[in-house]
Structure 1
Amino acid sequence: MAIKKAVVVVWITLVSSLFALAARGSAAQENAVLHAPLERIDRKPVVFAMNNLGSDIYKRAMELIYKEAFSRLGYTFAYNLYPLKRSLGESNAGRIDGECARGWLPPAVQKKYPNLIQVREPIWESRICVYSMNPDIRVNEWQDLKKYENIVIGFSKDGVYLERMIRQYGSNSQTFYGASNSTQGLRMLASKRIGIFLGVEDAIGSILNEAEFRQKNIYNAGSVDTLLLYPYLNKKYAHLAEPLASVLKQMKKEQIIDQYILRAQEEVFAPARKITISTGLMPPQKPSPDLTPSFFNKVAEVVTRAFALENYQVSFIFRSRLSAFNMAKEGLVDGTMLWRKTKSRNSHFYFSKPFITAEIVFFHLKSKSFDWQQLDDLSSYRAGIVAGMQYEDLFDAAIFSGQLLSLTAKDETGNFKKLLSGEIDYTPVILESGYDTIREIFPQKTAALFTHHQKPLIRQNFYLLLSKQIKENQKVITDFNQGLYHLEKMDATDVKQFQQSAP
């Protein structure tokens, strides 16, 4: 009883209440659908589009609900974030498998997107509300908009429903403005360029909680409609439409959907867990000549954003490579970056999915003749290596056996200084990181003395490592990988450019 009351409060406050519509089919058919064994989940994931402007609670609740629903059908589930209009085209073309939540599509829209099949059970319900900075404005139904003929009425053009309803119930003498998204519409409202803005309550509520709008005195002037939102499937998954409707109906009966909404609220409003990552990468103090982000900044941004999507807050500790590694190995910090995946590290660390591929190259002075095509060519040169680093298996073995001459430093800075003094002839470093370090420690004229050999020692994947000394890290690495997946999908262009940044 206590759970039901709590759910009612959450639902009214955030997105109104969920309605359960009857799905057709016999009880025997439903039971056959609902008890697909989880151990048989071996299919390709079903990937849905989700509104990128939805509230964090909405997104998390959708994820939990659909993971449960599709697991009962024998599938895994994932989602990508898209603007509403773009997602229609992606889903219709089959580049993505369906839509998480979309209102009823009018015939003209259905004709334009013929490959989308509606699942006949609503997944979500949102109120369409009116927002204003004028406390005298009150709206309880669509017809009330006609009372405000001298006020510019704004709406989001993300979906067709709002525009259609506003033009249907507004008067010809009224002025309407279609904002590209809800954030733009609220900015126009805050600057008094429009007097009313209509939007979906859960999306608007999330935006109004952002720092930009907290002090703007924008209030909810009333609700004009309730919007039932349904899953949509690309026709290649037409066979799942009825089973998915049955599963969603059953989950509502079991109050699992309500429980997931509560869980989403608790996770979103819970304070972020703090994660500490040690690293031997140098944080830049000087900007690059073309103002491009440093290698560390690129890596740190991906790690920070992926963790943030799963409600973690990251801080970094800068040490030598060996010290950074050992701190994580002993559990003094949560993890360390960036490292190769090796068998010797498996007993001490959980490995993330690879999130950068980079080249390790040999840096040397322009003034010194240096060339190589195979390891034997390096026998007459002295290498500068970093304590604790593993570069490439054959190269590491040659260094360890003494086949190749080497001197050891605690970090790349020491090796670049040894290059300059002539103590060593070359040093293996990640390409971008090497030039970042050179710019940091040397004046411009001295930095110009360095170059790298065009043949890489190796091009390989790098990973985030989390210590097995901390028992929670098994879940944390799973959360990070999930955040990384969603980050790659919603910001694919930037991430791919980053992963391919090394020439």
Structure 2
Amino acid sequence: MAGTSLKRLSRFVAGLVGWGLLITLTPAFARDEIAMTMMFREGEAPEGQLALRIYREAFGRMGLTLVNVYLPPKRSSIEVETGNVDGELGRARDYASSHPNLVRVDESAMTLRVAAYAASPSIKLTSWDSFRNTEYRVEHRFGMQIPPSRLAGLVRHELLSSAPTSLSGLKKLAIDRSDVYIDFEDNVESLLKASDFPGRERINKVCILERVPIHAYLNKRRADLEPTLSAVLRQMKAEGLIDKYQKEVAAEFSAGKRQ
């Protein structure tokens, strides 16, 4: 059993090295640790830090220490489904439809708002369907699954692109290298307050496109954790703790303490 576990971990680490990704691992994850992937490193993006704060507390109440494993979205899906890590943080509810082998934690940790931003006052949008029959160059942050899914059939493929970071997407928007930028509202609003770049003052929120409940997903071998984790998240909401965390993270990013 121990040999099998070490071989599995060795393959996982080798894969990370191949992708140029570095994380800190002990020879094997301890029994009181739970390894969850996320597309953000420590200190990156408000939604990522909010998720970490929430789940560290939630798992802590269950006697588990959260180990955050940074992986790009596609690689994350592979590693969770093969059982090399225990689960994922920060996926939408409909992620389950394309990953039926994973167990969704039914209680969401938070709800995020997907917003559209533009630098030109002539751009008017009210919903995803507003993009139909337009020629807007639309960009979203890399790794977001909702924008390309919702815009399929509405925006021509050659007009749709992704930015490696939220800040790079906003900078391109400010100098008219794109017409619309889509990201989570909290992320963009924090960056607009904390960052300074040419044309920043031109950028305005056009509309909220969707409100998205964000869930954790578990590999099936950790499915037994789901009922307790959902109950803990509900209790944290009842205590007002998640609202408190959300305000704390927003204040930190708006003040420029994190980039």
TM-score category of the 2 structures, normalised to the smaller one: 0.7 to 0.9
Give the 3 Å change call, closer, same or farther, for CA 171–264 of structure 1 in structure 2. closer
Q: Write out aligned runs for 1:383-402 (5 A).
A: none
Partners of 1:131 and 1:117 in 2: how far apart? 34
Query: One-letter code of the match for 1:45?
Result: E
Partner of 1:130: 116
Question: Which of these residues, 64, 71, 85, is aligned with residue 96 of structure 1?
Answer: 85
SS for the counterpart of 1:198 is strand
Give the 3 Å change call, closer, same or farther, for CA 73–105 of structure 1 in structure 2. same
Query: One-letter code of the match for 2:162?
Result: A
Q: Write out aligned runs for 1:485-496 (5 A).
A: none
Query: One-letter code of the match for 1:192?
Result: D
Give the 3 Å change call, closer, same or farther, for CA 75–229 of structure 1 in structure 2. same
Q: CA deviation at 1:75?
A: 1.2
Partners of 2:96 and 2:238 in 1: how far apart? 32
Partner of 1:339: none
What per-residue deviation string (whole Å, max 9, x for no partner) do you get for residues 167-214 of structure 1? Answer: 24x266x85222153444334323323211222223333444333467
Q: CA deviation at 1:266?
A: 4.8
Give the 3 Å change call, closer, same or farther, for CA 163–213 of structure 1 in structure 2. farther
Contact 2:172 2:178 in 1 (8 A): yes
Q: CA deviation at 1:215?
A: 3.2
Give the 3 Å change call, closer, same or farther, for CA 107–48 of structure 1 in structure 2. closer
Give the 3 Å change call, closer, same or farther, for CA 175–59 of structure 1 in structure 2. closer
Query: One-letter code of the match for 1:202?
Result: D
- Structure 1: 4+ residue segments shifted above 6 A: none
Query: One-letter code of the match for 2:131?
Result: L
SS for the counterpart of 2:178 is coil
Q: CA deviation at 1:67?
A: 2.0
Q: Write out aligned runs for 1:411-490 (5 A).
A: none
Whether 1:185 aligns to 2:169 is yes
Q: CA deviation at 1:106?
A: 4.9
Q: CA deviation at 1:264?
A: 3.2
Partners of 1:97 and 1:219 in 2: how far apart? 39
Whether 1:64 aligns to 2:50 is no
What per-residue deviation string (whole Å, max 9, x for no partner) do you get for residues 299-348 of structure 1? Answer: xxxxxxxxx89xxxxxxxxxxxxxxxxxxxxxxxxxxxxxxxxxxxxxxx
Question: Which of these residues, 181, 191, 207, is aligned with residue 222 of structure 1?
Answer: 207
Question: Which of these residues, 134, 137, 149, is aligned with residue 152 of structure 1?
Answer: 137
Partners of 1:57 and 1:200 in 2: how far apart? 9
Whether 1:46 aligns to 2:34 is yes
Identity of aligned residues (%): 25
Whether 1:253 aligns to 2:242 is no
User: Unpaired runs of 5+ in structure 2?
Assistant: 1-29
Partners of 2:68 and 2:106 in 1: how far apart? 20
Contact 1:55 1:203 in 2 (8 A): no
Partners of 1:121 and 1:166 in 2: how far apart? 27
Whether 1:197 aligns to 2:186 is no
Query: One-letter code of the match for 2:160?
Result: Y
Query: One-letter code of the match for 2:215?
Result: Y
Question: Which of these residues, 101, 110, 121, is aligned with residue 107 of structure 2?
Answer: 121
Query: One-letter code of the match for 2:159?
Result: F
Partners of 1:267 and 1:240 in 2: how far apart? 31
Contact 1:55 1:202 in 2 (8 A): no
Contact 2:37 2:68 in 1 (8 A): yes
Partners of 1:93 and 1:154 in 2: how far apart? 31
Contact 2:174 2:200 in 1 (8 A): no
Give the 3 Å change call, closer, same or farther, for CA 63–157 of structure 1 in structure 2. closer
Partners of 2:229 and 2:195 in 1: how far apart? 35
Structure 2 length normalisation: TM-score? Answer: 0.74
SS for the counterpart of 1:164 is helix
Contact 1:119 1:231 in 2 (8 A): yes
SS for the counterpart of 2:200 is coil
SS for the counterpart of 2:90 is strand
Query: One-letter code of the match for 2:58?
Result: A
Q: Write out aligned runs for 1:9-408 (5 A).
A: 43-52=31-40, 56-106=45-95, 109-110=98-99, 114=101, 116-146=102-132, 149-168=134-153, 170=154, 176-183=159-166, 184-208=168-192, 209-212=194-197, 215=200, 217-268=202-253
Give the 3 Å change call, closer, same or farther, for CA 163–176 of structure 1 in structure 2. same
Query: One-letter code of the match for 1:186?
Result: L
Give the 3 Å change call, closer, same or farther, for CA 84–106 of structure 1 in structure 2. closer
Partners of 1:200 and 1:74 in 2: how far apart? 31
Contact 1:85 1:159 in 2 (8 A): no
Partners of 1:211 and 1:82 in 2: how far apart? 28
Partners of 2:145 and 2:256 in 1: how far apart? 37
- Superposed CA RMSD in Å reads 3.0
SS for the counterpart of 1:46 is strand
Structure 1 length normalisation: TM-score? Answer: 0.41
